[in-house]
């Protein structure tokens, strides 16, 4: 073997010597430069690896998968437990290698999260996996593009615009309650997550786009809802596979082609919504009787130079708001209903509050003026979003060094705002695995760090639609509890999974009993 290597080296040397002097010098110079670059990279990587590997975190390392090797064999629920285990083991932050070249720092304590939350640092490169679907809408965009869109779209969530949405949420709740009544009469359990998803999609389409299409009556599994579920699953799955980091490899695979097909379908739905609005505007002119909505502002907004959104930008924002405006809210509502079904005393307190606030009404509608009076329901919703974290992770990438716990992370570092870890951190929340709405009572929450509870993120990149989402949750959850008693189906086992949002892997099944007082 050694003789063969020696022969090869000699052969290379002989061939080099036979080249013209200028060519020989160029080849030698190129080979030397390449060797120097490789050595420099190896020296840099050694230092880079040592720096990040000495931080607290997983020790099982693979030169292909980084620290993801074990997680690949886990069920979705086991992955959640894995992250929570490390969040408790290292209560301020920990490191995971996402492949051999990409360490990610998971932050899950107010002390380590607040600096990043207060900044406008860009989303991490993992969000680019959603570009074929969401484009550079508010969720994915960074820098000047994000700032311009955020500034132009903020008026869409003004108090005066949100107020009429309350009626739409009540009417959408009517349809959902009718579907639930069938199960109550038949005394059969109901898979609540899919029906709630249809309801919240109905609400966002009507509120943000003034688009009504009997979404909830077209079946338990609307194709758009199913497409979104598939897209978020594949987005999360791709982030766990370093082999799919490169687009040209991913989109040659069967998973990549399927992802693209779902993107095309989601775009077609968004295009239909935009087309219907443009045709309506051409026919009727600007809105006179109906409320001003998000799509009105999207189509008419102009920056200081008089420039509006391009057609592609409009579609990207519609795709973004159709996804974020229904999927995250559906998760929050469904998990909160599940928690209330598990804790009958909390459910009863909500119902007593609703009976008091709505006393003497002929209608069970929850009016705009009622929202602030539903104080205990608000505590329940917040506790539901803490325990069953709606958006478990938000990724950012540092553009400049940042110091946390006396460790200075270099520019370029990927950081994960580990919201689920924060909301389950025993240093932040006592008995964090217990559902206890009283922890959000004003007397109990007043001394908490404001960054201890961030279901909608915080700082300049917080959720633009958080007030809309909270109002919608109060209406839909309140309307359901006004009419039904909820209990958990004992035959159904709940398994969680994270696919951009927290979802049940096998659905959420509840038993419904009509409330005598609400008949």
State which residues form the domain around 426.
Answer: 77-514
Binding residues for heme: 463
In this prediction, residue 1 carries a pLDDT of 42
- Residue 170's nearest CA partner among 197, 215, 202 is 202
The three-state secondary structure class of 187 is: coil
Cα torsion through 108, 114, 117, 121, rounded to 10: -100
User: Could you report the average pLDDT of every consecutive run of 10 residues in the chain (519 residues)?
Assistant: 50 68 72 84 88 94 87 89 95 93 95 94 92 93 92 87 92 96 95 94 90 78 85 89 87 94 94 87 67 82 90 94 92 98 97 95 93 98 97 96 94 96 97 97 95 96 94 98 96 92 93 80
In this prediction, residue 2 carries a pLDDT of 44
Burial per residue of 13-23, b for 16 or more beta-carbon CB atoms within 10 angstroms, e otherwise: eeeeeeeeeee
β-bridge partners, 502: 498
In this prediction, residue 3 carries a pLDDT of 45
Distance CA 410, CA 57 (A): 18
43 lies in a domain?
A: no
Cα torsion through 363, 369, 372, 374, rounded to 10: -10
Structurally, how many domains does the chain consist of? 1
Q: How far is CA 72 from the centre of its chain?
A: 21
The full DSSP string for 302-342 is: --TTS----HHHHHHHHHHHHHHHHHHHHHHHHHHHHHHHH
40 lies in a domain?
A: no
60 lies in a domain?
A: no
In this prediction, residue 243 carries a pLDDT of 83
- Residue 177's nearest CA partner among 512, 516, 517 is 512
Cα torsion through 125, 126, 132, 138, rounded to 10: -70
Sequence-separated (6 or more) residues with CB below 8 Å from residue 192: 334, 337, 338, 507, 508, 509, 510
Which tokens belong to 38?
């490789």
Binding residues: 463
The three-state secondary structure class of 486 is: strand
26 lies in a domain?
A: no
Contact 183, 194 (CB under 8 A): no
Contact 409, 415 (CB under 8 A): yes
- Residue 123's nearest CA partner among 357, 393, 353, 391 is 393
DSSP at 193: H
Contact 191, 509 (CB under 8 A): yes
pTM, two decimal places: 0.90
438 lies in a domain?
A: yes
12 lies in a domain?
A: no
In this prediction, residue 19 carries a pLDDT of 67
194 lies in a domain?
A: yes
In this prediction, residue 157 carries a pLDDT of 87
| Helix, strand, coil percentages in the chain from 3-state DSSP, rounded to 5 | 60, 10, 30
Distance CA 176, CA 99 (A): 44
In this prediction, residue 22 carries a pLDDT of 78
The three-state secondary structure class of 88 is: helix
Pairing of strands 103-107, 414-418: parallel
Q: Tell me, what CATH number does 397's domain have?
A: 1.10.630.10
5 lies in a domain?
A: no
DSSP at 217: G
């Amino acid at each position: 073997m050694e003789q063969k290597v020696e022969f090869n080296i000699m052969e290379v040397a002989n061939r080099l010597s036979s080249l013209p002097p200028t060519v020989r010098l160029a080849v030698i110079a190129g080979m030397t430069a390449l060797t120097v670059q490789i050595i420099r990279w190896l020296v840099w990587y050694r230092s880079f690896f040592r720096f990040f590997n000495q931080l607290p975190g997983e020790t099982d390392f693979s030169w292909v998968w980084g620290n993801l090797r074990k997680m690949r064999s886990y069920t979705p629920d086991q992955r959640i437990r894995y992250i929570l285990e490390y969040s408790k083991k290292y209560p301020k932050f920990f490191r995971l290698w996402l492949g051999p070249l990409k360490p990610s720092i998971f932050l899950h304590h107010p002390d380590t999260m607040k600096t990043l939350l207060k900044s406008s640092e860009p989303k991490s490169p993992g969000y680019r996996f959603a570009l074929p679907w969401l484009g550079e809408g508010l969720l994915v965009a960074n820098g000047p593009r994000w700032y311009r869109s955020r500034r132009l779209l903020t008026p869409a969530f003004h108090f005066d615009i949100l107020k009429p949405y309350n009626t739409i949420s009540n009417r959408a709740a009517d349809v959902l309650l009718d579907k639930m009544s069938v199960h109550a009469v038949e005394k059969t359990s109901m898979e609540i997550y899919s029906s709630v998803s249809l309801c919240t999609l109905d609400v966002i389409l009507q509120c943000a786009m003034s688009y009504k299409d009997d979404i909830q009556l077209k079946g338990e599994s609307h194709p758009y809802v199913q497409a979104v579920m598939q897209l978020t699953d594949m987005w999360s799955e791709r982030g766990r596979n370093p082999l799919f980091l490169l687009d040209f490899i991913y989109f040659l695979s069967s998973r990549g082609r399927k992802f693209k097909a779902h993107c095309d379908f989601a775009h077609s739905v968004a295009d239909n919504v935009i087309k219907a609005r443009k045709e309506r505007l051409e026919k009727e002119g600007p809105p006179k009787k109906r409320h001003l909505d998000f799509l009105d502002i999207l189509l008419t907004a102009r920056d200081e130079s008089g420039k509006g959104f391009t057609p592609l930008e409009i579609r990207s924002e519609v795709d973004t708001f159709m996804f974020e405006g229904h999927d995250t809210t559906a998760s929050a509502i469904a998990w909160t209903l599940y928690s209330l079904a598990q804790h009958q005393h909390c459910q009863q307190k909500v119902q007593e509050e609703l009976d008091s606030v709505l006393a003497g009404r002929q209608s069970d509608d929850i009016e705009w003026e009622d929202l602030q009076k539903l104080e205990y329901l608000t505590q329940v919703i917040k506790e539901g979003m803490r325990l069953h974290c709606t958006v478990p992770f938000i990724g950012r990438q540092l553009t400049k060094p940042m110091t946390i716990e006396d460790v200075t992370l270099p520019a370029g570092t990927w950081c994960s705002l580990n919201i689920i870890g924060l909301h389950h951190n025993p240093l932040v929340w006592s008995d964090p695995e217990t559902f206890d709405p009283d922890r959000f009572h004003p007397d109990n929450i007043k001394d908490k760090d404001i960054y201890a509870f961030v279901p909608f993120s915080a700082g300049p990149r917080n959720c633009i639609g958080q007030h809309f989402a909270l109002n919608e949750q109060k209406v839909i959850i309140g309307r359901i509890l006004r009419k039904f008693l909820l209990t958990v189906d004992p035959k159904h086992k709940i398994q969680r999974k994270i696919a951009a949002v927290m979802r049940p892997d096998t659905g959420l099944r509840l038993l419904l009993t009509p409330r005598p007082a609400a008949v």
